[in-house]
Amino acid sequence: MSEKITAPFLKLYRHLFPKGRNVQNDTAEKAIPPESLIVVLQDIGRVDEVIRRELQDISEEEILSIAKRIKRLLDVCLVSMAWIMFALNSFDRSSLGNARVMGLQKDLDMNSNQYGLAMMLLFIAYVLAQVPSNYYLARGRPSIYLPVVMVLWGCVCTATAFVTTPSQLYVVRFFLGLLEAPFCVGCLFLISSWYTRTELGLRSAILLTAPMMANAFSGLIAFGIYDTIDGARGLEAWRWLFIVGGVCTVFVACVGFYVLPDFPSNTRYLSEKEIAVAQLRMIANGVQDDESDYGRWRGLVMAVRCWQVWVFAGMFLLLAIGASVHNFFPSVVNTLGFSRNTTLWMTAPPYLIGVVVTIANSLCADRHRNACPHVVAPAALAMLGFLLFLLDQSSTRSGVWVRYAAAFLMIVGAHSGYPVVLSWAQKTIRGPKEMRACAIAIINTSGSISQLSMALIYVFTDRHIRTVSKPMGTEVYTVDVLEYHLRAGSDFTCDLHAPSNPCLKLRCDAKSVGCFDEISNWRANPLLISFPVF
């Protein structure tokens, strides 16, 4: 009986998410099996003589054992540590939303426009700093650079607790954005420098769940602070919120100095053999951090002239419009009419569900090698949430809970799609590490630009969500169009290694097309039909 019930759903699932084995880049997309590390090692044209000399006396089994040990070490030292640091990054950045609910706007005698300006200044600095910061990171040591900026933004976050005027708040928010900007793009680039394509999607998704967990627990932490130490030592609860966040940030940054790795060629706590195997892993999967002889700014020029970068940037910008609701989510929940304490803890459940959905969505996209429906479907879900919140503005008990359910759809849908886009971009963009660092920064900067625009679009009234319903409809439609054009040109990959054409070279062959996810039949997949714009 149960098989008869589940059979139609399984059939629909297989139709919506085909594995796409009949496409030309099927073999290229699959990761090279571990056994081929030996074959790659013997390829004189691909492997440096230093690596070959270091591994020439090691058996195949030992090389595979070292590769597994490196991956386990990275999961702890890189992914786990970066996740904790990124969660604090997001917590410090988004604490202003909870502080507003806790009385910051009233204590500083700010109106809604002034609050929006404080939010906007952070993202102005965030946009300005990402590309130059990532370019510098590619030429420096991430294990030093990232913890240093983390210590600095922790100090600035703590200083926010002592502002007394809107002007002072503007200054600290600007510098907070300037110092937090290097972290997200830096971690994404660092992960792409260590993990193979089949390993990258899950790790990027795990990293990008950190902001959701931070947003979930920021409400609970704010609730605890407001309920326990409000007024302690003459400081309001919102001031203690910034102090707690800043102190925790500085402590974790000090740990990061000893835990974070650098690049596969220069990580201090790896042995010479482990460094050689780490580099060999990346060579075998086509994401080697080559030492380029290009000029100082050539990496940036390469990224700017790579057309895939701008397609992904446009896609990510439109997705981030919906995700930017997290900056105002406590205020959105506050419109439901609950008490201040209830509002703070009710912001947590949507983010917790969002973490689970995000990881599941990224795993599914990696498994089926078909990113498109795993981007468009969450965006459509978010659009439905915004639409429900817009249409049901009644103050009845049922109306309140309908809007809270719509809030779940907003957060879950808006946040679960963009990790797929970022991992797709990381797999696609090839070239020297300076070029890839700038490409990732450009793509992520586009998302920050959308959040900057949202600081101006949101109007704080009981129906301010109306201003977002039309951008959300446009978002889903435009994501659909962008992915169609990207797939139409998906036989081209940005190959920037050739010295004869260092700025831009597009080629189509069996090896180069593998950087894209598998392409299923566009017309056969009903999820890829354009959605209407409301």
Q: What is the CATH number of the domain that holds 305?
A: 1.20.1250.20
The answer to whether residue 27 is domain-embedded is no
Per-residue pLDDT at 85 exceeds 90:
yes
Q: How confident is the model at residue 111 (pLDDT cuts 50, 70, 90)?
A: confident
pLDDT at position 41 is: 56
Per-residue pLDDT at 408 exceeds 60:
yes
Give the integer Cα–Cα distance in Å for 467 and 469: 6
pLDDT at position 246 is: 92
Main-chain dihedrals φ then ψ at residue 78, nearest 5 degrees? -100, -60
The answer to whether residue 28 is domain-embedded is no
The answer to whether residue 8 is domain-embedded is no
| Number of domains, the chain | 1
Q: In whole angstroms, how far apart are CA 82 and each of 243, 254, 377? A: 22, 13, 28
The answer to whether residue 374 is domain-embedded is yes
pLDDT at position 174 is: 94
Written as six digits, the tokens of 104 are 């910051």
> Tokens 């996810």 appear where?
517
Mean pLDDT of 335-356: 75
The answer to whether residue 26 is domain-embedded is no
Mean pLDDT of 475-488: 53
* CB-CB contact of 445 with 314 (8 Å): no
The reported pTM is: 0.75
Nearest to 200 by CA among 95, 175, 208: 208
User: Residue 304: helix, strand or coil by DSSP?
Assistant: helix
The answer to whether residue 476 is domain-embedded is yes
The answer to whether residue 1 is domain-embedded is no
Give the integer Cα–Cα distance in Å for 192 and 203: 9
Question: pLDDT: is 458 or 502 the higher one?
Answer: 458
The answer to whether residue 209 is domain-embedded is yes
**21-30, 150-159, 340-349: least confident range:** 21-30
Q: Which domain holds residue 177?
A: 36-528
Mean pLDDT of 313-334: 72
